[in-house]
Chains A and B, each alone.
Chain A
Amino acid sequence: MANFTTDSDLEQYEPDIKNYGIQDYSDLHTLSTADVKRDIEIEWWPRAGSNMYDITTPNDAEFEDSLLVDSQWTRCAVYHVLGFFVYPRLSTFSPEGDVFREKMAYYRQEYKTEFDKILRQGVKYDFDSSGTIERAEKRPTHFNRLVR
């Protein structure tokens, strides 16, 4: 399973991230990617199949994360790995707070915002495994439907 992010992706957002005594965040990328994919499966997948073909037909297919377009999730996953894994590891969690805890909260919020934007923009998912993303394979989740 390929990760959505690498250390160089983190450095684009936080150029000093390797100055805190950790030189390799590989294990955190793996954990974070698994969590983001789980969120996609929870938030998007139940409505994704019916969205594409027939809304009266429930989507009972298995979610395959390999059919996602990884680059669509890079920024979102960077926010996730920073907010949920990197900064909690750096923070001292002292009662008076520290800059790392502030950043942790910031990136967690940004993750939610970015995740929602991707859903509204349309998750790119290669339903037919053709290797290309057709127009119907990247529609917004709530395309042409009223969701109660």
Chain B
Amino acid sequence: MSAREKIAIDIVKQLKNMTNPAPVLVSREFFDFEKLAITQFPAVLVVSGNEDREDISMSERQATLDIELRCFVRGSELDTARNNLIENIEQTLELSRDRNITVDNTATHYVQSAINNIEVIERQQPLGQFNATISVTYVYKRGNA
């Protein structure tokens, strides 16, 4: 399994284990947030995004992967709901910045991740949305991503 895939799986797993406020729906499969049940909010769509890769030595490459969390909340006091969810997501993902990937000499050598951007998307009430971008940097053996 690729490091890219392992990272995405770990993020989904951590988000599903969150507590109060916790997303009810966490998915990597695209969904139309306007067609969700009222009980499925907050909802998070995890999207593996663009990635930059470069050689850093004779045998190693470094990749920087952006993973976008499209987060949807519903109800009243949307600004508060958004802020609370942002705080909890960041705290949850900070618990294991290495994304729980086993580092070894044959494949992945190093992993670090952090949320580096929050973008609030304006929606009509009672919906609210923000996108959080997680930047994951990892180093891997050439030909073994």
Contacts and interface: CB of A to CB of B under 8 A. Distances in A.
Interface residues of A, number: 11
B95 interface: no
A98 B37 CA distance: 9
A136 B40 CA distance: 49
Contacts of B39: 20-22, 89-90
Contacts, number: 23
B45 to A, nearest CB: 15
A32 to B, nearest CB: 18
B51 to A, nearest CB: 31
Contacts of A20: 37, 39-40
Interface of B: 24-25, 34-35, 37-41
Return the 5 tightest CB-CB contacts between A and B, nearest first. Answer: A21-B39, A90-B37, A21-B24, A20-B37, A21-B40
Interface of A: 20-22, 89-92, 94, 98-100
Given A20-B40, A91-B37, A98-B35, 4 more contacts: A21-B25, A21-B39, A22-B39, A99-B35
